[in-house]
Amino acid sequence: MTVHRLVRAACLVCCGLALMGAARAETLAQTFALAQQHNPALRSALANYQAALSGIPFARSRLLPQLVAGAGISANAHDNSENPLLAKFGMPTSWNYTERDINLVATQALYQPGDRIGVKQAELAARIAYLKFIQQNQTLMLQVASHYFDGLAAQDTLHSLEEQQKAVVQQRASAQANFDAGNGTIVDVRDAQARADLVAAQILAAKNQFQLAQTSLEQIVGAPMRGPLAPLAPDASLQPPVGSLHDWVRKAEEHSLGVDQAQLGVQLAQLSAQKARTGKLPTVSAYARVDHDATSVGGPLFPFGNRANVASVGVQLRWALITGGAVQSDIEQTAHLLDKSQ
């Protein structure tokens, strides 16, 4: 209930204090907005979410058409001295030549079960990262509200002691005046002085407490506070929570960010196990290739070199038959991770 009331208090004060008053005073809404800009934990969660979003198009790209250009050059030495026909007709049996190749290859995945599961994994990872960001934002709101109210309490205590000091100083002056006029005793003067010294010591302790509270708040915010803390609105109030304990438990189960993350984590582990099992399956892709080959002078058949353009299209099947146990190891590992997540 304490956490819930802090959340409700933060929301209430964010709405109620955004338009109030004291000059240059920091309202809770302003303090929370400042924390959202500078808090390291929240910025880290946001960066993690943005990185997860970037992983979705990366995963989808493996299912989209790919176009790759290539070029190569090679020096070759050909020895055909064991061919009796070349020697019989007086042709050279060995020659050197240079081969140049420029190619363009387009591929399209037709059956890639592992990559299709990878897209679902990337989408789930982005959802989990978003929930973590929202949860960190809520945690930050609770932390800011708690430290803000601690600072307000210390600030109010300090103001109260300062007003009390004014009254004590007047009492001490009155006791001194009565003593000088012969209407009081030295005991009254010393008693008033003792009360004044006590209040002064309490003010010093309250200032230290307020400074500690403000320092703690600045650590949560991640930036220095630009002014004093704005007091609460006079009409600020909290409504009692509605519903029974059973209702709150049910709502927590339905809307808990931690529960949602755990459920998505199980789904992600299930997909990882499915993807590991696809390592035993073949993959199929279509391709189209265009090559331009150029061969320098060499050989009895092409004494002046050769140039050729070659185009080909086809379907390629790849099936990993022996992987050194990598696929089976991956299957076992993801199965254990699935048990852990469940």
H or E segment and range at residue 321 = none
Sheet (strand 66-79) strand order: 66-79, 94-111, 283-295, 306-318
CA–CA separation, 192 vs 170, rounded Å?
9
CA–CA separation, 232 vs 237, rounded Å?
10
* CATH number of the domain residue 267 falls in: 1.20.1600.10
| 108 belongs to a structural domain | yes
Burial class (CB in 10 A: 0-12, 13-18, 19+), 186: exposed
| 19 belongs to a structural domain | no
Residue corresponding to tokens 């022996």: 322
The mean per-residue pLDDT over the stretch 83-89 comes to: 66
The pLDDT value recorded for residue 237 is 78
The mean per-residue pLDDT over the stretch 275-302 comes to: 83
| 295 belongs to a structural domain | yes
Q: Quick check: 327 and 279 in contact, CB under 8 A? A: yes
Identify which has the larger pLDDT, 8 or 28. 28
Both tokens assigned to 189: 């003067």
Identify which has the larger pLDDT, 85 or 300. 85
| Count of domains forming the chain | 1
| 17 belongs to a structural domain | no
| 89 belongs to a structural domain | no
| 249 belongs to a structural domain | no
CA–CA separation, 2 vs 9, rounded Å?
10
Q: Is the pTM of this model over 0.75?
A: no
| 242 belongs to a structural domain | no
Chain segment 24-43, per-residue pLDDT in tens: 678 888 899 999 999 999 99
Per the structure, the complete domain to which residue 148 belongs is given by 25-76+95-229+257-341
